[in-house]
Amino acid sequence: MAAKKEKKSLTVEEAFCKIEEKIEALEKEDISLDDSFKEYQEGMMLLKQCHEMIESVEKKVQKIATDGSLEDFE
C-alpha cells in the first residue's frame, strides 16, 4: 500500500524517470523471470498513472479552449 501512495505523489517527470529505470532493469541480461515480471508490472502501473495525469491536464486545457474561462475541469 505504501508504494501506491508514493506513486500517487510523483510528478509526471518523476514517473517517467522511474519508467526509464524499469526499462534499464528489464534490459539487463541477468534479470530473473520473477524480477522482470515485477519490473514490468510496476512500469505498467507508472505508465497508467502518467496517462491519467496527462489526460486530466488535457481535459483542463480543452475546457479553457472551449469557453475561455479559467475554471478547473472537474
Q: What pLDDT was estimated at residue 68? A: 67
| Within a domain: 70 | no
- What is the number of domains present in the chain? 1
Maximum CA extent, the chain? 55
Q: Using alpha carbons, list the distances in angstroms from residue 16 to 36, 49, 50, 60, 61.
A: 18, 10, 8, 21, 22
Flag whether 2 is in a domain: no
16 φ, ψ (degrees, to nearest 5): -65, -35
CA distance 12 to 51: 9
Provide the residue range defining the domain that includes 33: 12-64
More confident residue, 52 or 57: 52
Q: State the pLDDT at residue 2.
A: 45
Judge whether residue 5 has pLDDT over 70.
Answer: no
Residue 47: predicted pLDDT: 96
Give 4's pLDDT tier (boundaries 50, 70, 90): very low
Across all residues in the chain, what is the average pLDDT? 83
CB within 8 Å of 3: residues ≥ 6 apart: none
Task: With respect to residue 69, please indicate whether it lies within any of the assigned structural domains.
Answer: no
Residue 1 lies in a domain: no
- Judge whether 42 lies within some domain: yes
